Structure 1
Amino acid sequence: MTRVLVLYYSSYGHVRALAQAEAEGARSVPGTHVDLRRVPETVPQEIRQKVGFAADDTHVAAPADLEAYDAIIFGTPTLFGMMAGQMKSFLDQAGGLWAQNALVGKVAAVFASTGSQHGGHEATLLSTQIPLQHFGMLIAGMPYTFAGQTTAESIVGGAPYGAGTIAGADGLRAPSETDLAGARFQGAHVARIATLLAGANLNEEAA
């Protein structure tokens, strides 16, 4: 079985909805086992309740868990044009995996949510890929074979760099069916690539 992890952080539920669609897409590829996990929250519960963060009962992952998967799909909100601090903190704790080259050759992908069409969506997708490349992971985006990302008839999240959604400045806009279709497409795309690479030893001895 090809093992895929969809790992995300979500404040108001938009990224969680995309994560569920990513997992659905990955599961559509025969021979794929998919786990859906979130990174630990760092905001105190009383603050979460005060600002209206969505409740989330998804199991929490630990950095050491990443080694067990053939592919990892990361989801994050956009905060000031970058990934959320909770996701960055999680990745910063994976130094042991980096030191052991434990993630080299694994497939990685990123999806994101932002408040507006020009709120740093693509910057977040691209900058989140940077630490993943330091880990030696192979980056999969959302190619234009998903034609939904090219429409000009409605607001659409996502880009060739990954799936996404636009939540609106007030956070009230739910992911559209096109956004969710893009996430399902990306999940399946990653799972197919991981399946093709399964069994290949891309973690060569250091030169």
Structure 2
Amino acid sequence: MGPPRRLAARTDIVSEGDRPGTCLVLIEGLVGRYKQLKNGRRQILSFQVPGDFVDLHSFVLGRLDHSMAALCACRIAPISHSAMQEILNEHPRISLAFLRESMIDAAVFRDWVVNLGQRPGYGRLAHAFCELVCRLRAVGQMKGDSFHFPVTQEELGQAVGLSAVHVNRVMQRLKANGLVTHQAGQLIIEDWEGLQRAGDFEPSYLFLGGDGGPAGEGASPT
């Protein structure tokens, strides 16, 4: 693994069509995978949290079919494709770990499709927050019942298919119902069980533990 490097917020890490010679591991921060239309509109496809490979696809496919951007100040570490190949040659069991990573990645994408296509805006946002709580807790990034979330309402809307105005309304409703509070770049979970109900959230698709979630199904994130 090469020396980590820092990226400023709202910086593109890799772009659609690139053929990088390294895979990047996110050490700190939050990254969004996205596709951008010719008219400039953007759809965020997933959030990547510390510990995730940002672009493992490039090792297998060569050319990237989507872009990735730092949504806040980030720290990433590169692993060259040649080093990756050496590791796999010397430790074949790691191939299974990478395959599992890809399968879980696909499971998360499937759940995002369901979230975008079948839940109302209120449920979409609640579900997205529940997923982040579970994933961030699993890698030790929760601070009690809150986590660092400096994402703008426009970016959040790009992830859940809502306008920034609609996101603002939904956030106000979540706050009024005592589920979450967003202040000073922190998202505070006020009612975990209520947030799960609002998002119709069931964490087994994340494969984070034998009970389907890092804190146990229905348990408090704290």
What's the TM-score bracket when you normalise by the shorter of the two chains?
A: under 0.3
- Which protein has the larger Cα radius of gyration, Structure 1 or Structure 2? 2
**Relative contact order, higher structure (CA 8 A, sep 6+):** 1
